[in-house]
């Protein structure tokens, strides 16, 4: 009787050990998650006119670069750290005879990405995509995660 119990116990242990070995030896397929974000192309003035409509939406905007700035950084209701981000402004596209920044749209770009484009000039055509994360002060606050220079301003 003791021999049968020992034999059953030994068999069970060997089976369990074999199962554990088999589970560790077989590579399980790795699940690769890709999150594809869809951006809606919008006109900057439309976004500024109705900021609440675009809150928490992913948008793409084309415009003329105006300048890098510190506008809106470290402002608590729509916080983005001045150590991690820089703001940039685009020009209003409804004024043609001189440059006026669209200051109602605060666009935040991570500093390492902004530093790649430090040589931009006012009037260079750009496109950026990002999420409208706040409408503090009735303005549009966007965290840009894509930034592309389309065409540099033509020199006269």
The contacts of residue 75 (CB under 8 Å, 6+ apart) are 136
User: Which pLDDT does position 38 carry in this prediction?
Assistant: 95
pLDDT confidence of residue 152: 80
DSSP-derived letter for residue 139 is S
CATH superfamily of this structure's domain 40-151: Nucleic acid-binding proteins (2.40.50.140)
- The secondary structure element, H or E, covering residue 80 is none
Sequence length of the chain is 156
Tell me the per-residue pLDDT of 22-81, one tens digit each, with 9 for 90 and over.
444 455 555 555 578 999 999 999 999 999 999 999 999 999 999 999 999 999 999 999
Cβ atoms 47, 60 nearer than 8 A = no
Coil, strand or helix at 24: helix
Cβ-proximal residues to 111 (8 Å cutoff; 6+ apart), any chain: 83, 84, 85, 86
pTM of the full structure: 0.75
């Amino acid at each position: 009787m003791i021999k049968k119990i020992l034999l059953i116990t030994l068999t069970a242990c060997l089976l369990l050990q074999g199962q554990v070995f088999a589970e560790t030896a077989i590579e399980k397929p790795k699940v690769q998650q890709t999150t594809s974000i869809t951006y809606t192309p919008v006109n900057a003035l439309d976004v500024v006119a109705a900021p609440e409509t675009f809150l928490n939406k992913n948008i793409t905007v084309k415009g003329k670069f105006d300048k890098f700035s510190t506008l809106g950084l470290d402002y608590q209701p729509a916080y983005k750290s001045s150590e991690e981000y820089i703001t940039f402004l685009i020009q209003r596209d409804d004024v043609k005879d001189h440059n006026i920044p669209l200051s109602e749209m605060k666009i935040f770009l991570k500093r390492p990405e902004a530093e790649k484009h430090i040589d931009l000039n006012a009037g260079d055509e750009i496109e950026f995509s990002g999420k409208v994360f706040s409408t503090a002060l009735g303005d549009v606050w966007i965290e840009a995660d894509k930034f592309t220079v389309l065409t540099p301003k033509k020199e006269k």
